[in-house]
Structure 1
Amino acid sequence: MPQTLPFTKGHGTGNDFVIVADPDGALDLSDDQVAILCDRRFGIGGDGILRVVRSAAIEAGHDAAASGAEWFMDYRNADGSAAEMCGNGVRVFARYLVDTGLAALADGGHLDIGTRAGVKRVTRSVDGFEVDLGVWRTEEDDVLVRARGLDVARPGQGIDVGNPHVVVALPAQRELEGLDLTVQPVLDPAPRHGANIEFVVPADPLVSGGVGAITMRVFERGVGETLSCGTGVAAAALAVRHWAGPAAPDAWQVDVPGGRLGVRVRTEDDGEHVLLSGPATLVFTGEVALA
């Protein structure tokens, strides 16, 4: 008889997830099972799965447990592959912990969450939650990006925010809207572990009231085009800030098909940290027969 699996559906600006509570690490989902659960016709539907597990109960979380992060976000893409990080996912994960009573997060306090990209600190923000994604860096290698809807290959800027991204600047909104992201863009050279690919159009003017603004679409590795990608939003803002030079602001707003997210850069002792803020919503709960 199939195992019955309780779940919660949540999203951050349309980037949606199947959330499964597994505090003691007893659940072993195969790639195929994850893919079925995330299938939008034959399963629950989602861009990925967030398994809620205690850091001490999962091998990848031992360092997080030693750092005092009780909970680990075991994030899997919709095809079942494991991913280092998910910026929208961390905020939804925090919302789940708080709303179910597994953790507390007072105004002015913080909640540490373990991920494969290290421990991420979450605080409350005006529009939901803000997560410190940690130190970011640019990649020096030149990358060309070919996508259906672009007349020629465009240069891409590699950005690492705990997971890999390639950001492409486009000159006009019509070009962004004309992309066909049902087909995976091609990176040359292809990164060994793949990358998320962001296409961005700067606002005109780029900066207003000390805040930069861009519009973005994204193709996520292991998923396809999504309505939003938190780390992709951060990477896109960082790339445009990098291109704009020393006078560029540290605060950005990024519009994606699923809504708007905030990005800010803060200098700390170990370098520049990038922080992502935005809403996180739990939609419904249910049970599903696990194939």
Structure 2
Amino acid sequence: MAFTLHFTKGHGTGNDFVLYTDPDGEQPLSADQIAALCDRHFGIGADGVIRAVRSKNLDAGAAALAEDADAEWFMDYHNADGSIAEMCGNGIRVYVHYLIERGLVTLARGETIAIGTRAGVRDVQTAAVGYTVDLGRWKLDERETLVRVKELTVARPGIGIDVGNPHVVVALPDDAELDRADLTYVPVLDPAPEHGANVELVVPGDPLVSDGIARIRMRVHERGSGETLSCGTGTAAAALAFRYWAGPAAPNDWRVVVAGGTLGVRMFPAEDGEHVSLSGPATLVYSGSITLA
């Protein structure tokens, strides 16, 4: 039976999403419906779908409420192919902006809201430009992964970074090689991670550090979505990887240039270890309705 879905289209530095409200958890979408929505020729077009659902009305939300009783809202995020994703750094900023604009939450300047995700609870705060999300603790996998990318002549070594979802970061020598890479094809990882990974190709700025801030440029292939104009958790992973390569003298403040704009990444100490945060804009483009089978 067909039904009408009321949605909003939003993006964070070009990483775009279809968002809809289902507070009681009564209207989940199938993988096929999500893929149809995200199709850029026959649907709305997006890198993923975000359902606004209260944590208490979703099985995955129980862990979020156990971690933080204030995590009333859960970001139920799916990639463009309908597969489930643990977290999305651009998506969570857009999601909070959506909740505010729809009158579902209030958030004064400087206040923080706890949002449930499948990677755990994430705290989001209003910022001078958009929002800042604390991505929490991160993990380094020093085992080398060989990454084969179409139009790059040889496999390149990559480093594993987990910021709630898995990434493999590859350093390239210059912009020409970065631009030549064909990310319409899925990069081949050896060994292949069990659940796949996002792949970031990154070049350093010239100079890498200026006025205490490091700058890098990145392209990304997102697992389940393909190449996207931006990836929030990917920018954090790229900055963390480059700081690891650069050594102890590297700064903790980074600017990452992606095809859709620029994002800020900062590493800082916390009680449970070092955290990494992501800052950037969040934009709602338009709202509408669509009939789904």
TM-score by length of 2: 0.98
Q: How far apart, in 2, do the equivalents of 1:223 and 1:22 lie?
A: 23
Aligned length: 291
Q: Secondary structure at the match of 1:177?
A: helix
Q: Is residue 2:126 matched to residue 1:133?
A: no
TM superposition shift of 1:44:
0.7
> 1:58 aligned to 2:50?
no
Tell me the CA shift for residue 108 of structure 1: 1.8
Distance 2:108 2:151 in 1: 47
Query: Is the aligned partner of 1:193 residue 2:195?
Result: yes
Residue in structure 2 matching 1:82, options 74, 77, 84: 84
The offset of 1:65, in angstroms, is 2.5
Q: Report the Cα offset of residue 125 of structure 1.
A: 1.1
Distance 1:112 1:101 in 2: 16
1:15 matched to which residue of 2? 15
* Residue of structure 2 in register with 1:143 after alignment: 145
| Paired position in structure 2 for 1:170 | 172
Mapped to 1, the partners of 2:267 and 2:203 lie a distance apart of 20
Mean Cα displacement is larger for which, 100-109 or 188-197?
Answer: 100-109
Pick from 221, 225, 228 the counterpart of residue 223 of structure 1: 225
1:161 corresponds to = 163
2-structure distance, mates of 1:110, 1:227:
27
Structure 1: segments with no counterpart, 5+ residues: none
Q: Secondary structure at the match of 1:203?
A: strand
Give the letter for the 1:261 counterpart.
L
Check conservation: 2:110, 2:127, Cα contact below 8 A.
Answer: no
CA–CA separation in structure 2 for the residues paired with 1:184 and 1:108: 40
- Distance in 1 (alpha carbons) for counterparts of 2:65 and 2:287: 28
Match of 2:244 in 1: 242
* Counterpart residue type for residue 256 of structure 1: V
One-letter amino acid matched to 1:185: P
In the other structure, the counterpart of 2:40 is 40
Query: Which residue number corresponds to residue 255 of structure 1?
Result: 257
**Structure 2: distance between partners of 1:149 and 1:125:** 39
Q: Deviations over 1:235-273 (max 9, x none)?
A: 001000110000000000000000000000010111110
The Cα of 1:28 is off from its aligned counterpart by 2.3
C-alpha contact 2:131 2:280 (8 A) present in aligned 1: yes
Cα distance between partner residues in 2 of 1:24 and 1:269: 34
Aligned partners of 1:205 and 1:44: how far apart in 2?
40
Amino acid at match of 1:23: P
Distance 2:204 2:109 in 1: 33
1:30 maps to a residue whose letter is S
Question: Structure 1 counterpart of 2:40, which letter?
Answer: R
Aligned to 1:59, what secondary structure does the other structure show?
A: coil
Matched to 1:102, the amino acid is L
- State the alpha-carbon separation in 1 of the partners of residues 141 and 61 from structure 2: 27
In 1, the alpha carbon distance for the partners of 2:56 and 2:205 equals 45
Distance in 2 (CA, whole Å) between partners of 1:246 and 1:222 is 35
